[in-house]
Amino acid sequence: MKIVSLILFTISTFTNVCYASFPITDTLQISNDSLQSETIEIYHLRMQKMGFDIENCRCDDCKKFKGINPLKKDDVRQNQKANIWPLLKTFGIWFLAIVVLFAIWLFVGFWNALKGLGDNPVG
C-alpha cells in the first residue's frame, strides 16, 4: 500500500512540477507594417477568387452591414465563467480516488485487527 501511494504521489508531483528545465524567454516582436494593409473590398475579392462564399462572411464590416450585433463584453464574461466544469470534474475525480484509497486502507486495517484478535490465545 505504501508503494502504491508513493507511486501515485510521485506521478502527480512530476506532472505538476516538471514543465521545462531550460529558461524560456519571450522574444516575439510585433511591428506594424503599413505597406501591407488591404481594404475590406480587396479582402473580399481575394476570398471570392479562392472560392469562398462571401454571403456568409462574418468580418466586422459585414456584421455592421448585415445588422448582426457582435458579442458584448458581458456575454464574453458570461461564457468565460461557464468553463469551470472541467476543473470541478478533475477535483471530483481526485476526491473520489482519495476516498476510495482511504476506504481500502481502513478496510485492510480493520481486517488485520480482526485477524490479530484470533491469533492471540488467552492463557
The pLDDT value recorded for residue 123 is: 45
Q: What is the mean pLDDT of each run of 10 residues along the chain (123 residues)?
A: 83 66 68 68 83 77 69 56 78 95 93 74 53
Contact between 118 and 14 (Cβ < 8 Å)? no
Report how many domains make up the chain. 2
Whole-model pTM? 0.32
Angle at 113 between CA 111 and CA 114, to 5 degrees: 65
89 shares its domain with 120: yes
Question: Which domain range does residue 64 map to?
Answer: 38-70
Contact between 71 and 63 (Cβ < 8 Å)? no
The pLDDT value recorded for residue 17 is: 60
66 shares its domain with 95: no
